[in-house]
Amino acid sequence: MLLQKKVALVTGASRGIGKAIALELAREGADVVVNCIHSEQKADDVARRIEALGRRALVVKADVSKQQQVEAMRERVLEQFDGVDVLVNNAGVHHHVKLWDMDEAEWRSLLGVDLDGVFFCSKAFSAEMREKKRGRIINISSTVAFTGTDHEVHYAASKAAVIGLTKSLALELAGHNITVNAIAPGEIATDMTASETAEERKKALELIPLGRIGQPEDVAYAAVFLASDRASFITGQTIHVNGGEAMF
């Protein structure tokens, strides 16, 4: 196992990609803090599955877009664990809104989760990592950070900002033996993409050379690798998990 005696926190781990990452980290030996904002029952189910693997699990409900709630989550984590070794900034929201229909509240609320949340959690949870002189931060960005998209400028902007944040944090934290990397998923089958029409799904599939939509586990395997000692010389990078949809 790659992550024995490690503690991981995965934001937005009640569903989708975050859930798959939490379970894969646990399969590799990590104890896992499962964060959510609304779906406490689902987060509890994820925690039970982690415990069934013989690991410890802690569910913490917190809105990552609110710094006070992130700080309270850190206090809660420190009651049970000696900090976290692996932070996965996964929580995210995504809304199809055209520029002309996007008001300030919509812009700010999405950036609050998808960008501010990454900043608040990285700041809070890197404190113990810096003391221990080891850690892993993994930020979930998106292919649209690189390609753009025609219906959600706020989402693409936040995910592109996460790449800049990742590189800068990688530089700031390298001296503390903390690596910071991003994963940019393409089309992954989760609740976030479930509302697509059959036509939209068909169009999306046509763009993927490997001929299938990604599964949450495809992203989780990349996260496990970045969290492991095998990735100790990799920092400031982005792994693209997109079936070949876009190549950089």
Site of interaction with ligand NAP (CB under 6 A): 11-12, 14-18, 35-39, 42, 63-65, 90-94, 113, 140, 142, 185, 187-188, 190-193
Q: Which is nearer to ligand NAP, 191 or 199 (CB)?
A: 191
User: What are the DSSP E strand ranges found in the chain?
Assistant: 7-10, 31-36, 57-61, 86-89, 135-140, 178-185, 238-241
Rank residues 16 and 135 by Cβ distance to ligand NAP and give the closer one.
16
Respond yes or no: is residue 155 known to be catalytic. yes
Catalytic annotation, pick one of 25, 36, 155, 188:
155
Tell me the one-letter amino acid at 123. K
Shortest distance, CB of residue 74 to ligand NAP, whole angstroms?
A: 14
Output the smallest distance, CB 136 to ligand NAP, in A: 17
Please give the structure tokens belonging to residue 110: 């999405």
Instruction: Give least dist CB 29 to ligand NAP, A.
Output: 23
Sheet containing strand 238-241, edge to edge, reads: 57-61, 31-36, 7-10, 86-89, 135-140, 178-185, 238-241
Nearer to ligand NAP, 87 or 113 (CB): 113
In the chain, helix, strand, coil percent, each to 5? 50, 15, 35
* Alpha carbon distance 87, 129 (integer Å): 10
